[in-house]
Structure 1
Amino acid sequence: MIRRLDELFIPDGDDARRWAEEELSDPRYADARPNWFDLVARDIGRFLADLFTSDNGADVGPAALIVVTVVIIAALIAALIIWGRPRDARAVRRARSDLLGERDDRSAARLRAEAERSARAGDWDSATILRFRALARGLLERDLIDPAPGATAQAIAREAAAVFPAEGGPVRSAATAFDDVRYLQHPSDAERYRELATTDDRLSTLRPEAVPA
């Protein structure tokens, strides 16, 4: 349908600014924003490109160019070894919101507190589910595990066992307790919950000697 020009709405300056701010607040623009590592790598690439142009190359000399290149590459490798590649913002948000196949952004401390409240009320099923979620969240908050989205309790247990080999048995038992209640509808009890809670408390105080990449 053709509309007359005098019927079109032309926003004033305030409306146009507000619409632009609302559009730019969309999370997809934040996801596309480069992090500090991307910016540094880009600047180094530009520097090397400028350095190897014919004019600059003739002034500096081939030997100096080789030395500068080696130093920059060595610095980048050292930075990657020491700090690692910064996580993508979307990956960080996913790790915080996705837990055992469900969206859950509660902290480990909050999950533990809710598990204890359920335990005091005698609701051992809820207490068991919440406490294993707290165990998994605690490992995520410490960057000790990096499970894929929708990872199962057993997958998280395997990653935890890789970080703490001596805790492999207890953490697998904790994952089994979670699966029994959550998926098999097997009732939990005080003894099973306390065993899981003890494992979680112990893991929260352990420090790995070497965390696998």
Structure 2
Amino acid sequence: MTAMGGTTARPLLRAGGDPPVDISRIPAREAADRELSKPMYHENDPNLVERALDHIGEWIGKLFHAASDVAPGGPLGLVVVAVIVVALCAALWWRLGTPGRISAAQDALFHDGPRSAAEHRTAAEAHAAAHRWTEAVQERMRALVRSLEERALLDPRPGRTADEAASEAARALPGHADRLRTAAREFDDVTYGGRTADEPTYLRLRDLDTDIEGTTPHLSAVAGGTAE
């Protein structure tokens, strides 16, 4: 049989006993590809999602197999390492809150227009009566800080955070320093950390606000003030 275009030709009998014709290897392969591409040959093939899941499963399996080879104690050591990593992640989440809290905690304490301490307290009590403790805590902390501004213990400053307010107020109210810092931390937890406040948290903050209202500040710690 002769060669055509550098490929080996093979005979193909025509219907009716006609003399065979030569067909090159490349057109034959193309004809076979067209035939096999018909949907009838692929009805039971896995779909795209199934193929993707299969590849992911194979990749994860290879990854764990490779890790188990280098982990102390083989597969058991790998399990121990995984448990430790999960425990550390859970501990970090519990301490820091949801991701993004660190940057979000620098946001201002007040987001709306100027409101008096009395208005913030009224809003806090309304939220508390409806058992909306997170909102109640937020409004009570704002009432406390606004009250300190109204008493000139803090200068009204846009953009002040709860932490900054607590630190500044502690200089004039050293006897409440720890409670102020705790209140600021709890405000950040529920406002930026994704936590949910409860009634005891609100009651602690309400008592702090009330106690500070009846406390005589150390004016020597306030710039330009005179000690009492």
- Aligned partners of 1:118 and 1:127 also within 8 Å: yes
Q: Write the letter of the residue equivalent to 1:173.
A: T
Aligned equivalents of 2:214 and 2:115: distance in 1? 20
Question: Which residue of structure 2 aligns with residue 168 of structure 1?
Answer: 177
- Aligned partners of 1:125 and 1:181 also within 8 Å: yes
SS at match of 1:102: coil
Q: Write the letter of the residue equivalent to 2:138.
A: I
Question: Which residue of structure 1 aligns with residue 147 of structure 2?
Answer: 138
Deviations 1:92-121 (A, max 9, x none): xxxxxxx72524311101110110110010
Q: Write the letter of the residue equivalent to 1:102.
A: H
1:154 partnered with 2:154: no
Question: Which residue of structure 1 aligns with residue 113 of structure 2?
Answer: 104
Counting matched residue pairs gives 115
Q: Flag the structure with higher helix content.
A: 1
- Aligned partners of 2:137 and 2:205 also within 8 Å: yes
Aligned equivalents of 1:108 and 1:101: distance in 2? 12
TM-score w.r.t. length of structure 1: 0.52
Which runs of 5 or more structure 1 residues have no equivalent in the other structure? 1-98
Deviates more, 1:129-138 or 1:103-112: 103-112
- Aligned partners of 1:163 and 1:210 also within 8 Å: yes
Question: Which residue of structure 1 aligns with residue 124 of structure 2?
Answer: 115
Question: Which residue of structure 2 aligns with residue 198 of structure 1?
Answer: 207
C-alpha displacement of 1:208: 1.2
Which runs of 5 or more structure 2 residues have no equivalent in the other structure? 1-107, 224-228
**% identical equivalent positions:** 40
Aligned equivalents of 1:136 and 1:162: distance in 2? 14
Aligned equivalents of 2:193 and 2:218: distance in 1? 36
Q: Which of 205, 217, 225 in structure 2 is aligned with 1:208?
A: 217
- Aligned partners of 2:170 and 2:180 also within 8 Å: yes
Provide runs of 4+ in structure 1 moved above 3 Å: none
Q: Write the letter of the residue equivalent to 1:107.
A: S
Q: Pairwise CA RMSD of aligned residues?
A: 1.4
Aligned equivalents of 1:173 and 1:182: distance in 2? 14
- Aligned partners of 1:136 and 1:156 also within 8 Å: yes
- Aligned partners of 2:110 and 2:142 also within 8 Å: no
C-alpha displacement of 1:147: 5.7
Q: Which of 116, 134, 138 in structure 2 is aligned with 1:129?
A: 138
Q: Write the letter of the residue equivalent to 1:210.
A: L
- Aligned partners of 1:181 and 1:188 also within 8 Å: yes
- Aligned partners of 2:170 and 2:176 also within 8 Å: yes
Aligned equivalents of 1:147 and 1:153: distance in 2? 13
* Structure whose alpha-carbon radius of gyration is higher: 2
TM-score w.r.t. length of structure 2: 0.48
